[in-house]
Amino acid sequence: MPKTGRWRSLALPAFLILLVAYGFVGYLLFQQYQAGMELAAGLNRTGTLWQTLRKQPPDDLDALRKEIVQAQDKVTAQQALFAKETESTAVVDMFVALAKQNRFLILQLTAQPTTQQKTKGGTYQVARYSIQAQGNWGAFPAFLRILAEQTGTVSLGLDNLTVVPAGGADDIRFDLLIYVRVG
């Protein structure tokens, strides 16, 4: 067989492979194009909706004003809780009750004097409590979440966290910082 016949027999499969690869790449590009068009349409709908909402005034201004007053009252109550004396019985009782709900035993709780911190966002009153507790380390995040909900604070901070695993009765020591916005 001459040399040209050999190349012809290899050229046809190579051409078919390239044709299939080209078709596959075209298919992938078409899918990307469709996804881009769907995204653009979604962004256009979102932009239109945003423009419509921006032009409309709130439905019930009185209800919004009531919500604002309630939020301000809640902030004032929380500021009063931590404002004067951080060693108050109410705060200690709250910590003990929340710890008990989450199966923690507070072994020691020491309050440090309240300080103020100024940031770009405002002024915050910072109450720091050094706590030694015993309980399941896995339940600790739930304890912090419930504590944040109960205190209504802007944020909680942890410092000096130490955990000594003991099979369900882990020894947990930490400083809890509670930030309450005052200005």
Residue 124 lies in a domain: yes
Q: Dihedral (C-alpha) 132, 135, 141, 143: value to the nearest 10 degrees?
A: -80
- Lowest mean pLDDT across 30-39, 43-52, 109-118: 43-52
User: Cα(155)–Cα(146) distance, rounded to whole angstroms?
Assistant: 12
Total domain count, the chain: 1
Nearest by Cα to 127 from 75, 163, 181, 171: 181
Residue 34 lies in a domain: no
Average pLDDT value over all residues in the chain: 75
Mean pLDDT of all residues in 24-41: 81
Residue 161 lies in a domain: yes
Condensed to tens digits (0 to 9), the pLDDT of residues 121-154 reads 778 778 788 888 887 777 778 777 777 777 665 5
pTM reported for the whole predicted model = 0.49
Q: Is 7 a residue whose pLDDT tops 80?
A: no
Residue 31 lies in a domain: no
Residue 26 lies in a domain: no
Tell me which residue range forms the domain holding 148: 84-181
Residue 49 lies in a domain: no
